[in-house]
Amino acid sequence: MDRYNGVARALHWAMALLIILALVLGIGHDALPKDWAVIPIHKSIGLTVLALTLVRIVWRLANPAPRLTVAMPGWEKGAAHATHALFYIFMIVLPLSGWIMTSAGTRPLNWFFLFDVPKFPVTKGDLIVDLAGEGHEIMGFVWAALILLHIGAALRHHYLLKDNVMRRML
């Protein structure tokens, strides 16, 4: 069975946990206690996801993914490739849009309270800040739905089709 290598699997699962946590904190921050510093943690996770995405892209270029099984229908292969392409777009654009929004605000941007992260030279009212704000929220919900679809597809392959698609990442 063709499997992803250990580095690819470690990046996948670490980033999956970080992304899901960031989405939960971002979408649910209003329901969580105010003294939990939810948004600063959300921002730090987003910056971490952005950095790990760059590492992941370099790794992926040097270590191509194993081929999908030949038995998989073409539409499923297309859907898998499209979903993964969207994941990479979201892993870059969502954290960048949050960084742009934060840069226009007065609150500091730091990484897990350890050091400050430079802000972009933008201000409230700039078109890019407005687009980032609207896009960040919409993309968060779309990405959450796409992740559920991804998990559902993996479980379908593992439990219903009983093929090796999910085991390649385990």
Mean pLDDT, rounded, for 48-64: 96
82-98 as b/e: b if 16+ CB within 10 A: eeeeebeebbebbbbbb
Q: What distance in Å separates the CA atoms of residue 112 and residue 61, rounded to the nearest whole number?
A: 29
State residue 1's pLDDT score.
57
pTM of the model: 0.91
Query: Which one is predicted more confidently, 66 or 129?
Result: 129
Encode pLDDT of 104-119 as tens digits: 999 989 999 999 999 9
Q: What tokens does 53 get? A: 């995405």
State residue 164's pLDDT score.
80
Which range in 5-9, 17-21, 164-168 is most confidently predicted, on average pLDDT? 17-21
Share of the chain above pLDDT 70, in %: 99
Mean pLDDT check: name the lowest of 9-23, 65-79, 92-106. 65-79
Encode pLDDT of 68-87 as tens digits: 888 889 999 999 999 999 99
